[in-house]
Each structure stands twice: as structure tokens, then as C-alpha cells.
Structure 1
Amino acid sequence: MATFVLIHGGGGSGWDWHLVGAELRRRGHDVVAPDLPIEDPAAKLADFRDAVVSEVGERADVVVVAHSYGGFTAPLVADRLDARLLVFVAGMVPAPGETPGQWWENSGYTSPSEKLSVVEQFLGDVPAELAEENIARGRDQRSAEWDDPWPLAALPDLPTRALLCREDRLFPPDLQRHVAKARLGITPDEISGSHMVLLSRPVELAERLEGYFAALR
């Protein structure tokens, strides 16, 4: 059994992972999916890390999973908890000293050429009722981490996987392949789905995460 620590993306909450979490629990694993303190104007990356570490407590066999903007927090958590595995799902992989605000240009990100709605950009294949609830549950990101340099000298030295979403219109597959190769030195795995694949394909995503943990053995 693993402890899956599921870290949400920008403007989100632990609720974003509720379907994946339920599936992982059904398979016998423990799950921690905290709300990062994004509504606190004073909160920085260290505060995000500490909020997660506090909720994990003394749990063992930790697998840290980052979605999207959660990629800036997940390696800090994995490093502090001596995690067994780190997984980026459509994740922003940070570089030492880089602020979240700098990531976009540094990574080679380009804005979509067409004007997209929130649903089109993030939730393209999420059932309408679930997409509406996700939008309604969105939180204002008022925290202070945007200009906060990522503090580690390197990414944690532990098994790391990246999973791209083939229909992602926020972080297109080519961008995700480039980031994974340049920053992790790996070729990402692929899953069908939009940026919010954790809501549109929770069973398949849980299977991937469980499979990554099983492969450690």
C-alpha cells in the first residue's frame, strides 16, 4: 500500500482529486489531497510545502503527484518526506532559482492562437455537470509565490515520471515533451484527456499512478 499525496494546480483545491482519490482508496491505498493556502496573500512555496507535509504526518511509502501548477510544490514535498516516487501530471517542472512567473517564458510556453473559453482550455472532455462544479469550486490565487524563487539546488534524486495529456489545450503535448526532456531527462508517458484529466478519466489515471508505484518493486 502506498500513500498518494495529490497536489492540485493553480486556483484549485484538494477536491479536484476526489475521483482519483476514491479510486486509489478502493484499491487499498491511503490518499492525502490537501488544499494549498493559495488564498493567503503571505503564503509562499515553503508555506505550500509545509501545509502538505503537515497533513501527511507520519505516513509511509509516499508517492507525490503534482497536477499542473502543483509542480512547483510537489518536489519540495517529496524532498522533505523522502518520498519513493514523484509524478508530474501535465505538470510545471521547476528549475532551481526559477520563479513560477518566469516558468512560462523559460519553458517555451506560447499562448493558444485562438481564443479559448475556460472549458475549452481546461475541461474539454470533463462531463458538463462536473465541469460546472469544478469552476464553481475554483479559488482565487492571492498567494505570494509567483515571484518566489524555487529553493532547491536540484530536483530530488528519486524515481520521477511525467504524464502528458494528449488533448491538453493549456499545456499541449509538444510543450510537455520538451519540458520533460529538458528538465527531467525523460520521455513522458501519455494519456488521453484534457488538462483536467483527473476529473475526466479518474479510473485510468489511478491505474497509471498505481502502476508507477508497483513498478518500484
Structure 2
Amino acid sequence: MPKTKSKPHPEISQVMIIDGCNNFPISWLNKQGYCEYSIYLENVKGIDVKPTRNMVVGTQEHTRLEMEFQKDAEPATFEEMLETSKTAELLSRELPVISSRYGIRGYIDEVWMTPDEFIIIDDKPGKRAFSSSINQVFGYCLAFQDMVKDERRIVGALRERGTDNIFWSAYFDGKAEQDIVSLINRVQNLLVGKTDFIPTNNPRKCRSCRLKIKCDKKARPGSL
């Protein structure tokens, strides 16, 4: 893993200043696609609300899977795993990734490393491939690609939480890379005030949002 100099952002929670640049969690790419104003409320304005049931269940499931994985896992450095995977298939869970170049970081739920390709898996509740979920997994792909500097193909995949059901997958090609870099640049512009946070205009999203009680820009019924 690359060595970096980091410190917390003085005003925006969860943002780190790494190598002199803002660095945000890759999970924000999912939030941005759902409603980027929620990022403002929670991390800029500092509104604190309880996690949703889905968030709690997701954390519990991640912990369970990680504990099961660790029972039979053999310790190895990231570099050792990359080298071994050139001739054998490997599996890693909760793999940390960070890109100072793009200003993103996170933990990949699961990575399959094979001699031909890397498969980046993000676990989600349900079986619907929302564009915001695709944005998140492609963010992991970008950070992973930036770290490994390897010519093997990268595949992004979404899996139904608690199952082996991969319900969506796609190659992380040049078009996917271009699109996700553009989205990351938008979030970076939000963080420095070059762009305004835009709330969703979908009242269904507002109804299920855990920040709705404190939100001053809720979408009204019939606004779609």
C-alpha cells in the first residue's frame, strides 16, 4: 500500500486531506447518485441521525463474513497477493484501497484475483442495480486500478447481500473510467464550493431518507 500523509478536513466530516488534497469515501458516490444534498446535511452541516436498519444489518453482515473469511485466510501482503494471483486464483475481503490521484478511498467487500482479471464485488441489499450502486463499485475499480498498475482486466460486480447471487457485472472499460472520473470531479468541486449540492427531486427518496426530519429541501409530491 502507498504511504501517505493525512489529516482530517477541518470542516467536512469523513473527508481527509491526503498528500495535500481532499480525499472522500468511495461510498459517497452511492450517496451522490441518491441525493447529493444528503452529503451536505450530514458531513458539511453536521446533522447527526441514527443509522437505518439496512445500515445496521449491512454492518453486521460484513462483520460476519469477515470473521468467517479470517478463519481460513492465510496472511499475505497486498503485493504478495498480486504476485501469487498471476498464476493462481485468490480471494480477499475488506480490501482497503486509496487513490491520492483521484482523492478517493474505501474498503472493497470482496476481490477475486485471477491470472486473467480482477473482479471487484460490492454487496448490496436487494437485487436491483441502481446507477448509484454502479457508481460506487466503479469507484472501487478506479482506486484499485490506480493502486495495482496491472494490465489485467477489471470487472465491477454487485452481489445480493448474504448470498452468492451476483446480479450485475460489467467490465471497467474506458467509458466507465471516464464517467466515474467525471463524477468524482463533481464531488471534489462540491467539497471546495465550486458547485452547489443539488437535492433529489424524487419524493420517494425523501420519504425513505434518514435525514428527512432535518432536511430543508425535501421534494414535494408531484415534483417528478
Q: Higher relative contact order at CA 8 Å, sep ≥6: structure 1 or structure 2?
A: 1
TM-score over 0.5 for the alignment?
no
Task: Report the structure, 1 or 2, having the larger strand content.
Answer: 2
- With the length of structure 1 as denominator, give the TM-score of the two structures: 0.28
- With the length of structure 2 as denominator, give the TM-score of the two structures: 0.28
Say which one has the larger Rg.
2
